[in-house]
Structure 1
Amino acid sequence: MSNITIKDVAALAGVSVKTVSRVLNKEANVRDVMIERVNKAVKELNFTPNPMARGLRGHKTFIISLLYSNPNPGYIVELQKGAMQQGSIDGYNLQIFPCDHTADDLYETVITFLKNSPQDGIILTHPICDNKAIIKYLEDNQIPFARISPLYSDHNSPYVGSDDEKAAFEMTQYLISLGHTKIGFIKGHPDFAATQKRFDGYKRALTTNAIGFDEELIKQGLFTFESGEACARQLLTQDNKPTAIFASNDYMAAGVLKVAKQHNINVPSELTITGYDDAPVSKQLWPPITTIKQPIYQLGMAAVEKLVHIIKKKSYKDIDSIYDCELIIRDSSSPCIL
């Protein structure tokens, strides 16, 4: 059948057009029997709502924007997939806006985008989600927003994240259980909340096991392959060499693996290498990299779910949703033989 309208759905379901609209928009306080009748009619008629028409009627765009500044393509792609999936469930489309959080005109760039690109709500990823000027603009203009992995949790807006400190603690504990005590650590970009949390987890594990903190084993990376490579050259050419290197993401770990091979250092018998994120690169190299799997897809879904609740002025259970990570053991790690 063609040219099926909302009126046809209402007629077949035996309800009003307004009831059909409320069901399609997943509004609150609609009886289950009505929802069932409308959904049955929608299925029988193979009816697809027109988002533009819905938007005009309800002064909504049914568009959610995802703002990000992140050097890790694997993370962003997985986040987008989760956000798109939940958006599809809730009847919203996703538009993405990449930007550079280090740019001097970041605020102006974001505000121009918000003014020129209609949307019903915004998802802010780290580190943009900690930008106080942008958050103030959203609040002042009553634009609904949710945050992903903020450094500061003292704001009353909803946010989602993974327990980076706990995961890094568990990874370091694992390395210590293999007999490693000289564990190099490559930090991520200093502007990202995850960087400090993962470093805190690493340090907590050392303290728990009465292992002294050695500043020489700590290098500053940027969450990029190139920065991991540069840090590895420092760690593997200094006198105080580590027997294991824990990089704060998989791209930096891949850089460490490259340098180890260039120096004819066998991985893992002479050097254990671990990463973080379970990015595709961690499985594509040899040996595959021991890592931490973040629930990135779930973070994208959860952020959209919370945002839609705000847009529809519905309550949600918790202001925050923090997810555990999973240790993935692969062939780049082994017991210390020194």
Structure 2
Amino acid sequence: MAEERPSLERIRQVPKVLLHDHLDGGLRPGTIVDLARESGYDGLPTRDPASLGAWFAEMSHSGSLEKYLETFGHTVAVMQSAEALTRVAYECAEDLAKDGVVYAEVRYAPELHTENGLGLEEVVEAVLDGFARARADHGIRVGALVTAMRHQARSMEIAELAVRYRDAGVAGFDIAGAEAGYPPTRHLDAFEYLQRENAHFTIHAGEGFGLPSIWEAIQWCGADRLGHGVRIIDDIDAAGDGARLGRLAAYVRDKRIPLEMCPTSNVQTGAAPSIAEHPIGLLRALNFRVTVNTDNRLMGGTTLSEEFAALVDAFGYTWDDLQWFTVNAMKSAFLDFSERLELINGVIKPGFAQAKWTRPLA
């Protein structure tokens, strides 16, 4: 029996793993409208859910980073109560489960959700409550990544939160925000604290800024994973026959440092010219530890299945390639080793084996 080309419908059915997804970038438009009404927020461009979804898409695909970032002002504005945070977290996990995701790590910045008086702990507990309810209802496991904003000075507070709640559902720590002018070494004390506490962390690096950002994240800060990491391509000479890796690229590959790549988002923000020209094609061919992610599902108008389907169209990937990306992600998750193995051998590989050799119904 010949192997079928992966279709979007079939991709939705296989078990998938997501490591880079922002909570405030994945709200349902209808939920934004509901929460704005309940909270009295009157800044939305429209209160019609369909029109609002279209507005987010237009702003996010404009090619302007400023317009792209403007969209988050609206989502964050309606996420200022414990009830709103719990609802958004629950719906996030529910949407991922419906897309076939079996394990996810979803990140958010607690400091952005305290405008109406919530404490950092209350923010974390509200989000964890939503994820826990979704696990009970839908079976999906979601770990939270608490994020510090790199242009602020609260990273130690947030790092301490990550450690305090790591046995309650917080999987790790992250820093996010503009890379240029805000190198990860500004938060070195937080990263050194996390290392002393045997805690996991990823760092947004190599998206809006180049190799120095990646180098600092790894060699100074000790990042377990790289958020995006697209610009590692700048240290690879792919001209002519074969590809020559610079010392940093070779180190990233040799050490199996995971790259949390988000193709649609990278095209939107200008980090890649198109899906077909995205560095993920070369990096996969060179066997870097590449993972596929959504970044912001609302702004990108995307799902993890749609990201995979776009890569199938652009690079001709097979079920084996999609399984390779998925196993990479599971190997790289901030989850107990035995649980990772259980998901790989008991869920992911059997799921892909079934998809690979089962013909779709006519």
TM-score by length of 2: 0.28
* Structure showing greater relative contact order (alpha-carbon pairs closer than 8 Å, 6 or more residues apart): 2
Structure ID, larger Rg:
1
Structure with greater helix share of residues = 2
TM-score by length of 1: 0.29
